[in-house]
Amino acid sequence: MTSGHFMLSNYLKIALRNLLRHRLFTTINVVGLALGAACCALIGLYIQHELSYDRFHRAPENVFRLMVESTGEEGKSLKAITPRFLSTALAESFPEIEHATQFRLMNKTIAYQNKEYPETRVIFSDPAFFEVFTFSSIQGDLSKALAEPNSAVLTKSFARKIFGEENPVGKSFVVRVNSRTTPQAEVKVAALMEDVPKNAHFKFDAALPFSLFAPATGTITWNWFEMKTYVRLKSQIGRQSIEQKLPDLVQRTGGERDKQKLVLQPLTDIHLAAAIPFDDVEQTNARDLYVFAGIALLVLVIACINYMVLVTARYTQRLKEVGVRKIIGATAPKLILQFLIETALIAALTLPLALGIVEMAHRSFGGLLGKELQIDYLSNQIFLWGNLFVLIFFTIVAGFYPALFFSKINAVAMLKGQGAGVRASTRLRKSLVVTQFGVAIALLVCVGTMFEQLRYTRTKDLGYRHDNLLVVKTAGLEKQAGVLKQAALLHSAVNAATLSSWLPGYLTSSTIMPHPHGEGMIEAEFVEADCDLLKTFQIQLLEGRDFNYSSPNDTLNIYRNGKPDFSLLPRVSILLNETAVRELGLEPPLGKELNYSALQGTVIGVVKDMHNRSLHHPIKPMVIQYSEYAEQLVVAYQPGQEAEVLAHLKTAWEKLATKSEFTYLFLNDHLRQLYTAEEKLMQMTAWFAGLAIVLSCLGLFGMAVFSIERRTKEIGIRKVLGASVSGVVTMLSRDFVKLVLIANLLAWPVAWYAMNKWLQDFAYRIELGWLTFALAGGVALLIALLTVSAQAIRAALANPADALRYE
């Protein structure tokens, strides 16, 4: 055996001996580091999943989405929808484009053999859809499947749901299109595809030709947006060329060059991009990923600090050992190597425990985030290298400083148990404890602030009633929806009911309205409902009157057989909200006539502003018009009667001549889903704040044990001289309380800055108050006192004679 091998073998034996001799602190180190490493691994899995969206497509870097950027009085705004037929103009105008496609994703009812499947996610698109996007075919040619006017493509799971184990290709079914050109159509399955991957930003069950929904060709209209448009470039080189020529295309097709602009957005950026209007895709705020990555790093740093605190706290116990080694010729590099080997051994013990925690927790962790996280230990190279990086990071960060620290102390001072290193070690440990608790307190403040903001979203007056409202989907019922409404009103617990296209929290149709004083155009949300909308939602009428069934203009239905009758345009009664009146400059508003969507409306009333979207967004102008065509029936019932009302409505539904399934929701449940991302972020931050507190207390516990052990004789002398138990406990706890108070002072400004930035995402938000900060600091202080006091009380109650004999 060479001298080098002998030295390494000796270092390993000494490291193992030290770990076994101090089992308690070895356990604290291993458990703390395992929790920190597992936390990093779980967050790493989540971030990796989020970054993988849409990367399964062929050459995803060449696929872009078209968005419309409009410039108005309020500045610039983006829309994820574009005019119809834009894809045709793009493909014809730019040779750099390989394929261009448009689609509209809608929920429709599909019927097969006396059974209906409502709320089916249907894509209406063109044959180029499967050229731009890459999905796996099971049977049939996807690139040609939508070329036939009555063809269809089904996903594997939806085909099995309808046809069971039979081969679906060649079979026919009916789709309730409910468009103004096609009420319903019989289509034939032309191809079968694998299910849309979970990491796609949009998902569907069936794809149908766009000609079923609307004419396949026509003229671009720049005041009506409804389509998602995507292009596949021949190479990324063509992007800059296309962007330079897009303004000419807008002008050539009738748009306003200086007010409307087409913007290219990379496909792989969509999932993590900021939410924009009419973008009903699965999104994650990119900022949340940075937050999670920061939390993971902080937890790992806290775990490393724990190790450093405990190692330097054992400083006095190892002074003589290191001093002897230096006397017999051990150089600084050799001493550093010895301590790094000890740290690496701790890391090696940590790895299997951390992986075990990840294996047990990743499904629950994914469920908390609403994601299905997968671990493939062999093929997921990022996961493997990530864990290796964490171990190397720990070994270097946590092991190098203590090793360097010991190697620089004078050997003679070490043998005497003296030296400037004692004071330096104490200062270091205090700084590390302050850092640990500072991080934990900052996270607690963040959790408290998020909780208060989310409570504010549930308690704020939204301008309408949202509790005790049951919503029944009526798509496909047509005139029978009115029959269902009358049946609902027969129940004694039902206070009111309305047929409405409006449901708070859902995307609402929009319309463009010219300013009556010629000051440009404004965009307004467009709502269609019957005469009972205000009564059912308890919307406050500020002036004027509500719709009245006895007034011909109020109940004027502009549709005949599903198509608009433009002879009815002159007189339509409308309601406006406060914001619409203000932005249109209508004073007084009653009786004013406004043009919108090729209609002319007369203002008969003004309602209080309502929060149609989440509190992230400001209230927009709103136009309410009568219509007997509705997408849902909203029923207001007496508190505690939801079960009886629901059973009554199910019975009434079953009596209707419909094969559609009874689909319903409670409005309060839906509104809570508007803040799902914030709820997840709060829960995650709460878990990691708790973990940070646990890790901090582990380090504090170890530091307290060593501090008390070092002061054993002092405690004995004080007790002999008459010190009380409470006096000894106060003496031992005082220093630790100071550290936590300093941690509060450092954590609060950081937490205030972070939460102030987070709250800026809300148009309506709480003010940051001192109480949240004080509670977070108080909780941290209480936990720290409990951790230290347990050891302090035990030391204070010990026999002073034993303490005086202690060495």
The H-or-E segment that residue 142 falls in is helix 142-145
Residue 191 pLDDT > 90: yes
Whole-number Å distance between alpha carbons of 503 and 632: 8
CB 298 within 8 A of CB 750: no
Is residue 317 within a helix (H) or strand (E), and if so which, with residue range? helix 315-327
pLDDT value of position 217? 60
Q: Report residue 65's pLDDT band, with 50, 70 and 90 as the boundaries.
A: very high
Average pLDDT of 669-693? 86
Dist CA 689 CA 439 (whole Å): 8
In this predicted structure, which of 120-129, 275-284, 576-585 has the lowest mean pLDDT? 275-284
Mean pLDDT of 362-373: 82
Q: Residue 73's pLDDT band (boundaries 50, 70, 90)?
A: low
Parse the chain into domains and list their residue ranges.
Answer: 1-53+298-415, 62-269, 419-459+676-807, 476-659
Structure token pair of residue 34: 């395992």
Position 793 scores a pLDDT of 74
Give me the percent of the chain exceeding a pLDDT of 70: 80
How far from chain centre, in Å, is Cα 489?
Answer: 39
What's the DSSP call for residue 674?
Answer: G
Q: What is the pLDDT of residues 131-168, one digit of tens each?
A: 999 999 999 999 889 988 889 999 999 999 999 888 99
Residue 666 has pLDDT above 80, yes or no: yes
Determine contact, residues 308/401, Cβ cutoff 8 Å. yes
Sequence-distant (6+) residues with CB within 8 A of 714 are: none
Q: Which residue has the higher pLDDT, 680 or 402?
A: 680
pLDDT category of residue 737 using cuts at 50, 70 and 90:
confident
Going by pLDDT thresholds of 50, 70 and 90, the confidence category of residue 433 is confident
pLDDT at 34: 86
pLDDT confidence tier of residue 420, bands split at 50, 70 and 90: very low
What residues are paired with 257 via a beta bridge?
none
Q: How many C-beta neighbours within 10 Å does residue 553 have?
A: 17
pLDDT at position 5 is 61
Report yes or no on whether pTM surpasses 0.85: no
Distances (CA, A) of 710 to 608, 714, 803, 806, 807: 70, 9, 11, 10, 9
Q: What is the pLDDT of residues 369-402, one digit of tens each?
A: 778 887 776 667 777 777 777 777 777 776 666 6
d(CA 520, CA 333): 75
Q: Where are the alpha helices (DSSP H) in 460-588?
A: 480-489, 533-537, 578-584
Residue 610: the pLDDT is 92
Average pLDDT over residues 186-196: 93
Share of the chain above pLDDT 90, in %: 23
**pLDDT number for residue 518:** 63
How would DSSP label each residue in 680-703?
HHHHHHHHHHHHHHHHHHHHHHHH
Q: Residue 313 — very low, low, confident or very high, per pLDDT cuts 50/70/90?
A: low
User: Three-state DSSP class for 53?
Assistant: coil
Q: How far apart are CA 287 and CA 285, in angstroms?
A: 5
Task: Choose between 10 and 117: higher pLDDT.
Answer: 117
The backbone region for 107, taken as left when phi is positive above 0, alpha when psi lies in -120 to 50, beta otherwise, is beta
Q: What is the chain's mean pLDDT, rounded? A: 81
Strand pairing partners for 509? 526
Give the pLDDT of residue 194: 94
User: Which is nearest to 397 in space by CA: 308, 292, 294, 296?
Assistant: 308
pLDDT value, residue 600 = 77
Q: What is the mean pLDDT of residues 264-270?
A: 91
Q: What is the mean pLDDT of residues 488-493?
A: 91
Q: Which of 596, 625, 621, 608 is CA-nearest to residue 516?
A: 596
Handedness of CA 133, 139, 144, 148 (dihedral sign): negative
* pLDDT tens, residue by residue, 93-122: 888 999 999 998 888 888 888 788 878 899
CA 324 centroid distance within chain: 57
pLDDT at position 751, please? Answer: 93
> What is the average per-residue pLDDT within 431-456?
90
pLDDT at 57: 93
In this structure, are strands 206-209 and 228-233 parallel, antiparallel, or unpaired? Answer: unpaired
Query: Residue 316: which pLDDT band, with cuts at 50, 70 and 90?
Result: low
CA dihedral for 713, 715, 716, 721, sign (positive or negative) = positive
pLDDT band at 788 (very low <50, low <70, confident <90, very high): confident
Per-residue pLDDT band at 277 (split at 50, 70, 90): low
Distances (CA, A) of 684 to 42, 676, 677, 695: 11, 12, 11, 16
Cβ neighbours around 284 below 10 Å, total: 22
pLDDT at 117: 84
Residues 6+ positions from 396 with CB-CB distance below 8 Å: none
Element (H, E) at 192: strand 185-193
pLDDT for 636: 93
pLDDT at 326: 64
Per residue in 589-638, pLDDT (tens digit) is 888 888 776 677 888 899 999 998 888 888 888 988 888 777 789 999 99
DSSP states along 428-484: HHHHHHHHHHHHHHHHHHHHHHHHHHHHHHHHS--SS--SSEEEEE-TTTTTHHHHH
What count of residues does the chain have?
807
Average pLDDT over residues 211-224: 68
How confident is the model at residue 800, as a pLDDT? 61
Q: What is d(CA 441, CA 448) in angstroms, rounded to the nearest whole number? A: 11
216's tokens: 């396949």
